[in-house]
């Protein structure tokens, strides 16, 4: 009889359902809610001792460094992170949670916003669900539109060459600046009077001046590295 009871109890434990998406979201939101006060306990609880954590800054942290990174926000700072657009895959002892994290941060009364995408891998070991791996990237956002100095546009107009046969053309039309290459025409939007960006394209466009003050190159700046297009006419 005791054997039958033990067998039934063991079967009941084995038949327990895997963790639900709702519970994964609840735990993840608990992690983010703990950031502002610097509460390390949820991070100690929900991350495995052998976890790896890669953040939007390009850092890869183990658990000890991750937990140490959770400290209260400085005085004058506040904020919140909310989880949206959740997708989950739960198979046996592994659960994948993919989601957007929308952050609002207030710094001495000034409100800032950022959007991130995170994929967490949860693993059930010894009956306990913990994050074994987490990776986050930040969504690209266009800079705030600034004011251009239209008087300078004619200095920028012309053809620029990267290599023989590789050219792009800058034109000015109705108070707007455009760059065109191989039939693709894009507006150069001003971040400042001398610094431009293209909508939805990471990087900046700026124009270089020679010692005489003449524009001699278009600089395509990507992640702080420059591709130089020499002005040919």
pLDDT band at 12 (very low <50, low <70, confident <90, very high): very low
Q: How far is CA 189 from CA 68, 113, 164, 215, in A?
A: 41, 21, 28, 18
Amino acid 8: pLDDT? 41
* Span 65-108, pLDDT tens digits: 999 999 999 999 999 999 999 999 999 999 999 999 999 999 99
Tell me the HSE value of 161 on the side-chain side, using a 13 A CA sphere.
Answer: 6
Amino acid 125: pLDDT? 94
Q: Which tokens sit at 50?
A: 């052998």
Using CA atoms in the order 156, 158, 162, 163, what is the torsion angle rounded to 10 degrees? -160
Q: Could you write out the DSSP letters of every residue in 180-228?
A: EETTEEEEEEEEETTEEEETTEEEEEEEEE-TTS-EEEEEEEETTEEEE
Amino acid 59: pLDDT? 95
Q: Which of 140, 142, 122, 118 is nearest to 132 (CA)?
A: 122
Walk me through the domains of the chain, giving residue ranges and CATH numbers: 17-138 (3.10.450.50), 150-231 (2.40.128.50)
Amino acid 17: pLDDT? 53
Amino acid 233: pLDDT? 81
Q: How far is CA 214 from CA 129, 154, 171, 209, 217, in A?
A: 63, 11, 17, 5, 9
Average pLDDT for the chain = 91
Integer Cα distance of 14 and 3 in angstroms: 16
Contacts of 15 (CB under 8 A, 6+ apart): none
* Span 175-229, pLDDT tens digits: 899 999 988 999 999 998 889 999 999 899 999 999 999 999 999 998 889 999 9
Q: Which tokens sit at 41?
A: 């306990």
Q: Which tokens sit at 233?
A: 């006419």
* Span 125-181, pLDDT tens digits: 999 999 999 999 999 888 889 998 889 999 999 999 999 999 999 999 998 999 999
Using CA atoms in the order 72, 77, 78, 83, what is the torsion angle rounded to 10 degrees? -80
* Backbone angles phi and psi of 166, in degrees to 5: -115, 95
């Amino acid at each position: 009889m005791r054997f039958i009871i033990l067998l039934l109890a063991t079967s009941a434990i084995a038949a327990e359902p895997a963790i639900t998406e709702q519970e994964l979201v609840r735990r993840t939101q608990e992690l983010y809610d703990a950031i502002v006060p610097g509460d390390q306990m949820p991070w100690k609880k929900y991350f495995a001792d052998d976890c790896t954590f890669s953040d939007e800054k390009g850092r890869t942290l183990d658990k000890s460094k991750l937990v140490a990174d959770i400290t209260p926000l400085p005085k004058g700072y506040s904020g919140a992170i909310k989880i949206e657009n959740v997708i989950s895959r739960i198979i046996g002892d592994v659960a994948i949670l993919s989601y957007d994290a929308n952050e609002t941060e207030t710094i001495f009364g000034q409100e800032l916003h950022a959007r991130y995408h995170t994929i967490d891998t949860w693993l059930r070991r010894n009956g306990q669900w913990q994050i074994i791996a987490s990776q986050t990237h930040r969504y690209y956002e266009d800079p705030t539109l600034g004011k251009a100095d239209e008087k300078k546009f004619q200095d920028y107009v012309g053809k620029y060459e990267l290599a023989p046969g590789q050219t792009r053309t800058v034109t000015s039309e109705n108070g707007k600046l455009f760059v065109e290459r191989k039939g693709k025409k894009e507006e150069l939007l001003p971040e400042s009077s001398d610094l431009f960006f293209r909508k939805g394209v990471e990087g900046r466009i700026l124009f270089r001046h020679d010692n005489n003050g003449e524009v001699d190159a278009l600089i395509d700046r990507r992640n702080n590295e420059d591709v130089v297009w020499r002005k040919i006419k």
